[in-house]
Amino acid sequence: MQKKFEEFNDGIAEIYYVTADDKLKKVKSGLRFGNENVGISRFYAARAADTRVDRVIHILRQQDIEPHQVVVIESEQYDIDKADHINDTLPSITKLSLIKFEKHRKREFA
């Protein structure tokens, strides 16, 4: 079976971690990404777990990205709910399930 070829032409993301004083410190920048559909099964699975998934993107595989780091796309902040590292695509990707921060939860940059 031929591997699926992934594209990364939907935008650029930056990854941050939250410091002890609740500020954002940049970990990675300039990560090109592709948007994914939030499928019905993923949507309802999130609802069943009393959470939500606002956006799903894929980036080139990044093993060091972890849940609860912060992704910034076009000045919007998202919490990484889940990071799936997938090898059966060309190239290998990391798929990120994101939850948008509400205005009162947005953090300042360090």
Domain limits at 48? 4-103
Please report whether residue 21 resides in a domain.
Answer: yes
Please report whether residue 85 resides in a domain.
Answer: yes
Residue range 100-110: average pLDDT?
A: 81
Please report whether residue 66 resides in a domain.
Answer: yes
Please report whether residue 24 resides in a domain.
Answer: yes
Please report whether residue 108 resides in a domain.
Answer: no
Q: How far apart are CA 43 and CA 90, in angstroms?
A: 26
- Overall domain count for the chain: 1
Give the CATH number of the domain where residue 33 resides. 2.40.10.270
Residue 73 near residue 39 (C-beta atoms within 8 A): no
β-pair partners for 33: 11, 59
Please report whether residue 110 resides in a domain.
Answer: no
pTM of the model: 0.84
Residue range 2-24: average pLDDT?
A: 92
Helix (H, G, I), strand (E, B), or coil: what is residue 66? Answer: coil
Residue range 24-33: average pLDDT?
A: 96
Letter for the amino acid at 64?
D
Please report whether residue 49 resides in a domain.
Answer: yes
Please report whether residue 12 resides in a domain.
Answer: yes
